[in-house]
Amino acid sequence: MAASVSPSATAPPPYKERVPRAPEIAPSVGFYPLITETVVARSAADNRQATIMQVYTHVPFNPVDLAAFRAQAGEFSTNPSKFISVFEGCLASHKPDWDDCNILMRTLLSEVERNQVVSKAREEAQRRHDRDIQNVPIPADMVPIADPRWNPNEPQDQTRLNTYKELLLRGLRHSAVRHNNWAKPYELIQEPKESPVAFLQHIWDTIRQNTNANLDEQATEAIIKGIFTSRATSDIKRKLQKKEDLMGMTMAQILETANRAYSLREGEKEKRQVKMMVAAVQAHGRGKFQENGRGRGMRGHGRGRPGSQERRLGRNQCAICRKEGHWKNECPEREGTPMMAAEDQE
């Protein structure tokens, strides 16, 4: 971290002899660098501007950090790719020295795995030495088994430390033992709610975990295309099969087509939900209408409720007086009949 200091400030103490201060951020909140960068000014002389220099101050690993790294990295033998990714991220962000790297390996790797990593790292160092015997140190100096006391504030030691960490990563990659179990990737099936992007990532992860294949190789990409197009959901598969030169498309083009089908599915799903809601509302309304009108019947239609006054009429029953023997147009009680009868009497 850069800090503005007085030009009269004294030089910092030697590497690892300075007592580290407690980090400003608690380890439980986040990781803090193992080696922090500091800006320090030498005393000025003869009215000249002070010299600004950058130094490294060592901060040892916190047990909380180590436990978090172990939980994040997992077992090297189970998922080498994930382990190497976490280990590489730690080297880049924490700037560990030789002793810190040794602590990391003892925490994250078994004894057998550590020995194998160091052995593979030395093999790589030997190859480099053989290519340039005059300028490249011997493997024992490039990958020491005891603390070489490299000082990161010295340019030459910093170069040696960086080379050592690079060789450790090479050793990890060459030590990763994976069997080519291609059955695992071909067992994958896209879940109905799984997006095409998530499904492709699932395929990549499964190939990394179960095979030695390089995802960047053209042959591996062709296999990924086959798995993706054959194990996708039915609607996405139909969309892809309509393409004339499917296997000639890039993976990015296939993914774009799959994403369009997936988005269309979401739109169709919303339409179906709206239709279902409309149908439910309509059915509910019809049910209420039938419930309110059930059993009432209509005059001259339907049976009605037993014992009701508006039950079905008989063949010769009057709809006005309900008497048998005549119809309503012949009923004496029909409206206007009394007046007609009075005129007849006159």
The CATH number given to 183-269 is: 1.10.1200.30
pLDDT, mean of residues 180-209: 90
Model confidence over 229-256: pLDDT tens digits? Answer: 999 999 999 989 888 888 889 999 999 9
Does the structure show a pLDDT above 70 at 187?
A: yes
**Would you say 82 and 103 are in contact if contact means Cβ atoms under 8 Å apart?**
no
Helix (H/G/I), strand (E/B), else coil: 298: strand
* Dihedral Cα 158, 159, 161, 165, nearest 10 deg: 140
Domain boundaries for CATH 1.10.1200.30 within the chain: 183-269
pLDDT, mean of residues 152-181: 88
Dist. CA 54–CA 20, nearest whole Å: 17
Q: Which of 165-169, 216-220, 275-279 has the lowest mean pLDDT?
A: 275-279
Residues paired with residue 40 on neighbouring β-strands, in sequence order: 53
Percent of the chain surpassing pLDDT 70: 70
Residue scoring higher pLDDT (324 or 49): 324
CATH of 53-175, one of 3.40.50.200, 2.40.50.180, 1.10.375.10, 3.40.109.10: 1.10.375.10
Give the per-residue pLDDT at 37. Answer: 53
Closest CA to 12 of 60, 53, 50: 53
pLDDT, mean of residues 293-317: 56
Does the structure show a pLDDT above 70 at 287?
A: no
Cα angle for residues 147, 150, 155 (degrees, 5° grid)? 165
Give long-range contacts, CB 8 A cutoff, 24+ apart: 343-346.
none
Does the structure show a pLDDT above 70 at 265?
A: yes
Provide the angle, in degrees to the nearest 10, between the axes of the packed helices 155-175 and 111-131.
Answer: 120
Does the structure show a pLDDT above 70 at 310?
A: no
Domain boundaries for CATH 1.10.375.10 within the chain: 53-175
Give the DSSP letter of residue 317. Answer: B
Does the structure show a pLDDT above 50 at 33?
A: no
Give the per-residue pLDDT at 46. Answer: 59
